[in-house]
Amino acid sequence: MKKLFSLILVGMLAVSGLSAKVKLSVLYVGGTANMDPILMSPGSVDSVALAASVKERMAHFTKFLKKNFTNVKSIEGKDYTPEMSAAYDVTVFDGRPVPFMKGDRMRGERDSYLPESFDCAAVMIGHMSEELGRSLGNKNDWYCLCLDNYALGMKNEHPVFNGPFKVDMTTEMRPTAAPALEVAEMMGESLPKEMPMLLMHPNWTEEENASGNCRIGMVSRPGGYLDSPDTEVISGGLCGKSIDAVAIGRHGNLFHFGFAADPERLTPAGRAILLNSIVYASEFNGQKLIARKMNEGIVTRDHLPMTKWACTRKANDYINETNLTFRQMIDSVHAVAVEKKNKGEELSRFEAIYLDMPQMPPVVKKSFGQYLKERNPKLYEVFGTDEAAYADYYEKNAPYMRPDLRGYELVIDPEVQALGIPNNDIRLLDKAIELMEQGNPDGKTILERYTLKRFATPAEWRNWLNIHRPRMFFTEAGGYLWLVNEKDANDYSVLAAEAVSAQAVAPVPVNNDNLTTDKDNPVVLTARIDTRADGKKEYVLTMKIHPGYHTYARLDPADPYILTTIEMEYPAGVEADGDMIMPPFQPTSNATSYYVDTVEFRQPLKGNGKGEIGAKIRYQACDHSECKLPVTTTVKVTL
């Protein structure tokens, strides 16, 4: 009641024209820069300039928060420990703390920054939601670091737009982003050509883009975001993904504020929304995540319309036409560049890039059959080119589908299909208990597949189900599980323990060459030393990329992705013999180009030294719908 009264008082003072601080204690954790190093290659940022940018951003945030809240403490991420948050109503994470547990990036594991027991209210700015929340199963994951400067699809009635800080919700009609229109068509939906949008911060200037002195915002995946009672979508944003990508949202005690601009750059509306978000987040102090998204890219059934569209001639035509358009554009720019060069005219940066590109093979249109066979060879064996059959297959079997072991493809659960009960119907658990009582092993299999419990007897299962039935819900993003809507009622550690046990009995590959890619780990790196015909040696770094994914060879300044960079590390007596020989790449419609399939980076060597040679490589893997977190790793081989 006391807190409610203070908020009402603040509103009254604001209406009367007086200023007042909201009675709230806020811990600000900084340490990242406006000059965002995550978008830059190693070594491209001056350390002095980077430190100055960190200091400037922290100063702006501290001033902003102290102006509006009664108790504010500002620290760098390196000085933060999770225990500190208990003394504050809200922690604002704008910087990365020191991890208390390192993850194995080659196995898709993330570093852990917050313990599983963390239940303090937190507002996470931009990609901090992914960085700090991944190990907890935060649904505010990294869909794309591509959030622009407008909010859209706002839930205008939500508290963050209604106080205690006044928000001017004046919108302007803006063109709907082309990627959103494309995705909508694939989903069988339609979007208006324009929609109302709220400016959160001005456009980045050309100078800011060129220098990297800007923080790009992050949107989270919408698939399954709302399938648990601990989440809410508050606003979308103008971005390079679907219209329902989450720009502002909440999962349990973790609040995602995707717009990452410095408060000094936010519009008055943007600043007020951020302040209201901090106030609103404080209401969830002491809560925790209920459903946990442990697999960030887990496939959910709300995207089945796109899966069905991908099995159509229209999809095949779309891909063929896109490839042909790209190639025609490349040939056109290349021809202009050659002509200008021959005339001695100055080339633009764009033309110079395309002039240096190696000759690309001609575009070969794939037949519908070729396309389907490559996309899903097993279904192609059954349905051939009958696109209606594919649609019917997904339509009829959707209720019985769940992700495969990797989590990225929907497959039929045969035990559930045999019962004819959808896996998101709680009657399935009742039926599974009946099967256990009848001595049928399928019952226990189903119960352990769709819950986090591991009871030995049917009586224990039935007692648990009867007690918790009124509070149970089914989550797809949380692992295709039946969970209980209570704090600490769902122990995900059982899945981790079973995964470790499965790995212990799995065959161990002899060397990296035996590793295979998948959608969870779309890039595998191996290294070797080759001896050329002339007797000289080369360090060869092989990058194997999963079908449908790519890494970045060159980047247009307007694209917010991560360029592939390599820094060599040599033992004493060994050095580079000239420049690294780079592999061929595939161009796109702008200056950005891709590495696909398997490529090799070859570094000629000279010297008689011995020891380990390493390549420190940084890259980001993306497909047509998502980008993985950037990876930095070193691949070594003994000379």
Of 176-185, 429-438, 626-635, the least confident: 626-635
Residue range 22-289 in CATH 3.40.50.880: yes
Q: 261-281 burial by CB neighbour count: b if 16+ within 10 A, else e? A: bbbebbbebbbbbbbbbbbbb
According to CATH, where is 3.40.50.880 located in the chain?
Answer: 22-289
Mean local confidence (pLDDT), 385-413:
89
- CA–CA distance, 356 with 358 (Å, rounded to integer): 6
The predicted structure's pLDDT at residue 108 = 54
- In this predicted structure, the answer to whether residue 590 has a pLDDT above a threshold of 90 is no
CB 512 within 8 A of CB 521: no
Distance CA 435, CA 446 (A): 10
- Res. 211: pLDDT tops 80: no
CATH 2.60.40.1250 residue ranges of the chain are 523-638
- Contact status, residue 45 vs residue 61, Cβ threshold 8 Å: no
- Of the pLDDT bands very low, low, confident and very high (cuts 50, 70, 90), residue 359 is low
SS3 label, residue 92: strand
Please report which confidence band the pLDDT of residue 502 belongs to, taking 50, 70 and 90 as the band edges. Answer: very low
Mean pLDDT, residues 527-545: 86
Tell me the per-residue pLDDT of 270-292, one tens digit each, with 9 for 90 and over: 999 999 999 999 999 999 999 99
Look at residue 508 in the predicted model and tell me its pLDDT.
Answer: 35
**pLDDT value of residue 328:** 80
pLDDT at residue 467 greater than cutoff 80: yes
- pTM beyond 0.85, yes or no: no
- The contacts of residue 582 (CB under 8 Å, 6+ apart) are 553, 601
- Torsion over CA: 453, 459, 462, 463 (sign): negative
Higher pLDDT, 37 or 266: 266
The tens digit of pLDDT for each residue in 101-129 reads 877 654 556 789 999 999 999 999 999 99
The C-alpha atoms of residue 555 and residue 281 are separated, in whole angstroms, by 37
Cis amide leading into 547 (omega within 30):
no
User: What pLDDT is stored for residue 357 in this prediction?
Assistant: 63
Secondary structure of residue 237 in the 3-state scheme: strand
Q: For domain 523-638, give the CATH superfamily.
A: Thiol:disulfide interchange protein DsbD, N-terminal domain (2.60.40.1250)
The residue that leads in pLDDT, 32 or 352, is 32
Instruction: Name the band, by pLDDT with cuts 50, 70 and 90, for residue 9.
Output: very low
What is the per-residue pLDDT for 353? 65
Band (499; pLDDT cuts 50, 70, 90) = low
User: Are the beta carbons of 214 and 34 closer than 8 angstroms?
Assistant: yes
Check pLDDT > 50 for residue 18: no
**Structural element, H or E, at residue 481:** strand 481-484
Determine the pLDDT at residue 598. 87
Determine the pLDDT at residue 324.
83
514: tokens are 């035996």
Q: What is the pLDDT of residue 500?
A: 53
C-alpha 305/C-alpha 187 separation (Å) is 5
Q: Which two tokens stand for residue 438?
A: 């009848």
